[in-house]
């Protein structure tokens, strides 16, 4: 009896705490959306107005038109897709090499790869910029996309290698018997088998490039070349001079977050699986 009561209490406490945590997460999100639908005079109302009446949908259109956000969106998509494609192809090739082939120095090189996971990007930032400046590629999308061919992201390589290691070798051995070469095995057998990992890392890479701020900030100067995030920064600077237009800024923040959230919800099963493989044996 006593035991059952204490279990009941525990269960209640668990859900209570979980709900409390959920509220901490949901309330700011709700506030973001709510603010984005408010008229300027309702922004600072006290007590706070939770559901704007009536919702000002025009905020989204007005904010979008204040800067060339259509162009910014196109730039973001362009950068993100090119960088992500190059990252996925090269990191999976490198991971395949580390997972399946014996060569001298492999363990040392893999150890170096793990070390670079911890290398702070701050030391490489300035020389990398100087290299691109020497190549006269500053203020183009080149530094943000072409660099991805060099297997950006040691963490992605690590996660993909873990996935390759879970695939039984018999799959390839059978293919070798049939006379397939490495390129064919990689493309026709290995890639389809690691599809969950590709999806998970695809989402991570998409998110990384979409949300990247430091790269565009350093390399891009002309407004025409801005991705969404620099547009948001410019917006923030020009709008917060006098009375900040928080409704417009929140509207643009919501728009920036929606594609990422959509992708996350669509692929979250793979996404979380991928995180686990990478993290558990950190």
Q: Scanning residues 102 to 161, which ones bind another protein (CB under 8 A)?
A: 102-104, 106, 109, 112-113, 116, 118-131, 133, 137, 140-142, 145-147, 149-152, 154, 157
Min dist. Cβ of residue 281 to another protein (A): 7
Residue 239 touches another protein, criterion: CB under 8 A: no
Residue 280 touches another protein, criterion: CB under 8 A: yes
Residue among 73 and 146 whose Cβ is closer to another protein: 146
Contact of 190 with 167, CB cutoff 8 Å: yes
Min dist. Cβ of residue 204 to another protein (A): 10
Residues 6+ apart with CB under 8 A from 36: 59, 60, 247, 250, 251, 253, 254
Among the listed residues 168, 154, 152, 171, the one whose alpha carbon sits nearest the alpha carbon of residue 98: 154
Separation of alpha carbons 114 and 106, rounded Å: 12
Residue 90 touches another protein, criterion: CB under 8 A: yes
- Torsion angle in degrees (nearest 10) through CA of 216, 30, 24, 264: -50
Residue among 191 and 233 whose Cβ is closer to another protein: 233
| Cα angle, residue 256 at apex, residues 82 and 246 outer, rounded to 5° | 150
Min dist. Cβ of residue 162 to another protein (A): 13
Site for another protein in 167-226 (CB under 8 A): 182, 207, 210-211, 213-214, 217-218, 224-225
Binding mask 1-40 for another protein (x = CB under 8 A): -------------xx-xx--xx-xxx-xx-xx--x-----
Hey, what are 266's tokens?
């669509």
């Amino acid at each position: 009896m006593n035991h059952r009561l204490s279990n009941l209490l525990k269960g209640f406490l668990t859900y209570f705490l979980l709900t409390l945590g959920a509220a901490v997460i949901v309330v700011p999100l709700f506030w973001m959306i709510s603010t984005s639908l408010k008229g300027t005079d309702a922004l600072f109302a006290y007590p706070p107005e939770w559901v704007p009446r009536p919702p000002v949908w025009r905020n989204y259109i007005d904010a979008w038109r204040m800067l060339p956000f259509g162009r910014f969106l196109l730039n973001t998509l362009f950068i993100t897709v090119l960088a992500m494609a190059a990252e996925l192809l090269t990191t999976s090739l490198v991971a395949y090499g580390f997972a399946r082939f014996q060569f001298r120095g492999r363990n040392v090189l893999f150890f170096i790869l793990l070390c670079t996971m911890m290398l702070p990007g701050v030391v490489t930032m300035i020389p990398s910029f100087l290299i691109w400046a020497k190549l006269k590629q500053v203020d183009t999308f080149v530094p943000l996309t072409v660099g991805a061919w060099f297997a950006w992201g040691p963490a992605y390589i690590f996660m993909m290698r873990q996935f390759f290691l879970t695939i039984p070798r018999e799959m390839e051995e059978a293919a070798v018997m049939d006379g397939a070469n490495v390129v064919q095995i990689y493309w026709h057998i290995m890639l389809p088998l690691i599809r969950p990992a590709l999806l998970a890392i695809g989402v991570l890479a998409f998110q990384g490039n979409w949300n990247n701020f430091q790269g565009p900030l350093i390399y891009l100067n002309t407004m025409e070349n801005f991705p969404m995030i620099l547009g948001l920064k410019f917006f923030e600077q020009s709008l917060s001079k006098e009375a900040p237009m928080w409704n417009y800024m929140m509207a643009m923040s919501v728009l920036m977050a929606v594609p990422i959230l959509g992708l996350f919800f669509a692929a979250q099963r793979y996404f979380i699986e991928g995180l686990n493989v990478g993290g558990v044996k950190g």
